[in-house]
């Protein structure tokens, strides 16, 4: 699963919150962070004709992406959620961990099928970003910005901070495991670095993970269904325009760190039909970037 980049840096000690002097950490050691109810989630989301075919919640695991990819019996629409993730993975093999039940850490198995050409599968992490942002707007009242290609940003004290991220990984020839990591209730003293954020610090009206997860999964189901029905066409499904509207990278001066050690600096102009970030350089060249780390050099105008 992907994990918020500012949170890289490894374990932070007591991963079970506020047990402290009250005894050993356990399932009920932090009553402000109750466990998810897998049965209730299944009743709400798994139904005939729905995208989601199974929902499992585990107490702890290394990486939900790795676990789901390794499950030979996993059907399309399977969702795996971890209360705690100890070896979460992001892009460029970055790692991250967070206190138990402080966030949403989950992966899903998707098979776009013959309806969507493989060359359009690159839209899946961008689709997930749009779905998470729209789901959180409804359920948490938080404005989530999308930093290309896979970061989720929230505003804390007037400053953009990374609260989550997305990682899509091909598994086999016909499937993708899509992982999402989101800081929900992390407090300021639990952040590994000042640049990280959480829904709680952004003033969310709710940090109850159950309705937040339901809202996000329902939003993903809607956007994914529309995208597949349109044959993966980002324009016909309105995915491209919606992503551009929520992408805080556009209009900014950026530096893209590209594979092979090359970097590119210029203004982020657009996200094209292939999901690439188009950067306009000082000499007038418009160059599409399909992969890389993007650094925002100045605020959007």
CATH number at residue 232: 3.30.930.10
Co-location of 183 and 99 in the same domain: yes
**Residue 30 pLDDT greater than 60, yes or no:** yes
Co-location of 282 and 146 in the same domain: no
The tokens of 83 are what? 């209360």
Co-location of 92 and 167 in the same domain: yes
Co-location of 97 and 204 in the same domain: yes
From residue 78, alpha-carbon distances to 19, 193, 214, 237, 281 in Å are: 33, 33, 14, 24, 43
Task: Determine, yes or no, domain membership for 301.
Answer: no
The mean-pLDDT minimum among 23-37, 156-170, 268-282 falls in 23-37
Enumerate residues 6+ apart whose C-beta is below 8 A from 101. 17, 30, 33, 34, 35, 36, 83, 84, 185, 209
Angle, alpha carbons 89-238-236 (nearest 5°): 115
User: What's the confidence (pLDDT) of residue 183?
Assistant: 96
Domain assignment of residue 82, given as a range: 5-244
Rounded-to-integer distance, Cα 107 and Cα 69, Å = 9
Contact between 129 and 150 under an 8 Å Cβ cutoff? The reply is yes
Task: Determine, yes or no, domain membership for 223.
Answer: yes
- Mean of the per-residue pLDDT values for the chain? 88
Rounded-to-integer distance, Cα 195 and Cα 161, Å = 6
User: What's the confidence (pLDDT) of residue 19?
Assistant: 33
User: What's the confidence (pLDDT) of residue 203?
Assistant: 98
Co-location of 150 and 78 in the same domain: yes
Co-location of 286 and 229 in the same domain: no
Residue range 184-193: average pLDDT? 90
Co-location of 128 and 205 in the same domain: yes
Structural domain total, the chain: 2
């Amino acid at each position: 699963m992907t994990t918020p980049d500012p949170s890289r840096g490894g374990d932070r000690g007591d991963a079970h919150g506020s047990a402290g002097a009250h005894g050993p950490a356990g399932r009920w050691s932090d009553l402000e962070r109750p466990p998810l109810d897998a049965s209730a989630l299944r009743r709400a989301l798994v139904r005939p004709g729905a995208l989601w075919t199974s929902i499992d919640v585990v107490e702890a695991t290394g990486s939900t992406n790795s676990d789901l990819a390794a499950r030979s019996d996993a059907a399309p629409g399977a969702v795996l959620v971890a209360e705690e993730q100890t070896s979460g993975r992001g892009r460029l093999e970055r790692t991250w961990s967070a206190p138990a039940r402080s966030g949403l850490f989950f992966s899903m198995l998707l098979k776009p099928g013959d309806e969507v050409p493989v060359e359009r599968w690159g839209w899946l992490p961008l689709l997930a970003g749009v779905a998470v942002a729209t789901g959180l707007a409804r359920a948490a009242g938080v404005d989530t910005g999308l930093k290309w290609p896979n970061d989720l940003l929230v505003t804390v004290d007037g400053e953009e901070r990374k609260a989550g991220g997305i990682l899509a990984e091909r598994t086999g020839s016909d499937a993708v495991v899509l992982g999402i990591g989101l800081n929900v209730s992390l407090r300021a003293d639990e952040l590994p670095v000042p640049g990280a954020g959480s829904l709680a610090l952004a003033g969310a009206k709710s940090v109850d993970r159950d309705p937040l997860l339901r809202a996000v999964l329902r939003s993903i189901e809607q956007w994914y269904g529309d995208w597949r029905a349109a044959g993966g066409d980002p324009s016909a499904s309105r995915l491209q325009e919606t992503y551009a509207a929520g992408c805080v990278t556009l209009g900014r001066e950026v530096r893209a760190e590209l594979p092979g050690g090359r970097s590119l600096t210029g203004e982020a102009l657009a996200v094209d039909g292939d999901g690439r970030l188009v950067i306009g350089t000082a000499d007038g060249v418009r160059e599409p970037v399909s992969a890389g780390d993007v650094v925002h050099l100045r605020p959007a105008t």
